Amino acid sequence: QVLLQESGPGLVKPSETLSLTCTVSGGSISSYYWNWIRQSPGMGLEWIGYVYYTGSSNSNPSLKSRVTISVDTSRNQFSLKLNSVTAADTAVYYCARLNSATLGGFDIWGQGTMVTVSS
Amino acid sequence: QSVLTQPPSVSGAPGQRVTISCTGDNSNIGPRYYVHWYQQFPGNAPKLLIYGDNNRPSGVPDRFSASKSGTSASLAISGLQPEDEAHYFCQSYDTTLSGFWVFGGGTKLTVL
């Protein structure tokens, strides 16, 4: 059973960089697209971006200039960096797996981690 | 504002059938792009409920079904049960700009 677990600071100051890591357990990070998705309090879901196990990545056009997503296959982890954060970046951040077997649906999610942007 | 449009809320009595709509346009929901549905309980991560327009992952009851027509999709829940009370989100792929995954704003289902 593949499990995902997010980790990282729960509080980030405005203008600084939000950094999160997702650890994949119970399976290999090789193959699949690994994603970051966030959900602002009381709001809907927003796809942030993905990284493939080869290291190729893509991100939401609305966030592209601030987002870096990377993968460490030796540790079965992938990471998100979002720079120049503001209060609007306060959200629950999820990591999730995109599976071709589910035709592009996100079939496995981490439990989520709340990140608050505040001084 | 979400790219895909869902009603903020729907409700139904136990045993009834409810539907939740998801409206997009020709840059997302359409003949080429699948729609997926998620169920989310408070404090939990979303769970994939329907994938590829109308397929249920293992373990999802057949009370849940979905369909797609043109640039809209809908999720149907029949034989409504109290434990179905949750938020439901649709998801597809959008081809504007460099392409990205998009979600609906979510629909809160209340079981009366």
Say how many CA atoms lie within 13 Å of B70 toward its Cβ.
6
Contacts of B34 in chain A (CB under 8 A): 103-105
Asked if B46 has any chain A CB less than 8 Å from its own CB, the reply is yes
pLDDT at A42 over 80: no
Centroid of chain to Cα B33: 14
* Residue where the block lists tokens 């993905």: A50
Confidence band for A41, pLDDT divided at 50, 70 and 90: confident
CB contact under 8 A, B46 and A106: yes
Our CA-based measurement puts residue A78 at a distance from the nearest CA of chain B, in whole angstroms, of 19
Tell me which residues of chain B, numbers 61 to 80, contact chain A at a CB-CB cutoff of 8 Å: none
Note the residue count of chain A.
119
Of A39, A45, A67, which to mutate for an interface test with B (greatest number of B Cβ within 10 Å)? A45
Specify the pLDDT at position A44: 85
Measured distance CA(B32)–CA(B51) in Å, rounded: 14
Contacts of B66 in chain A (CB under 8 A): none
Contacts of B97 in chain A (CB under 8 A): 61
Give chain B's residues under pLDDT 50: none
Task: Report the percent of chain A where pLDDT is more than 70.
Answer: 99
Specify the pLDDT at position A64: 87
Specify the pLDDT at position B99: 83
The per-residue DSSP string of A67-113 comes to EEEEEETTTTEEEEEE-S--GGG-EEEEEEEEEGGGTTEEEEE---E
Note the residue count of chain B.
112
Contact A20, A113 (CB under 8 A): yes
Confidence band for A31, pLDDT divided at 50, 70 and 90: confident
Contacts of A103 in chain B (CB under 8 A): 34, 36, 51-52, 55
Measured distance CA(A24)–CA(A114) in Å, rounded: 19
Our CA-based measurement puts residue B22 at a distance from the nearest CA of chain A, in whole angstroms, of 13
Q: How many CB atoms lie within 10 A of CB A103?
A: 14
Average pLDDT, chain A: 95
Specify the pLDDT at position B109: 98
Average pLDDT of the segment spanning A99-114: 95
Contacts of B101 in chain A (CB under 8 A): 35, 47, 98, 104
Identify which of A5, A6, A19 has the alpha carbon closest to the alpha carbon of residue A89: A19
Specify the pLDDT at position B8: 95
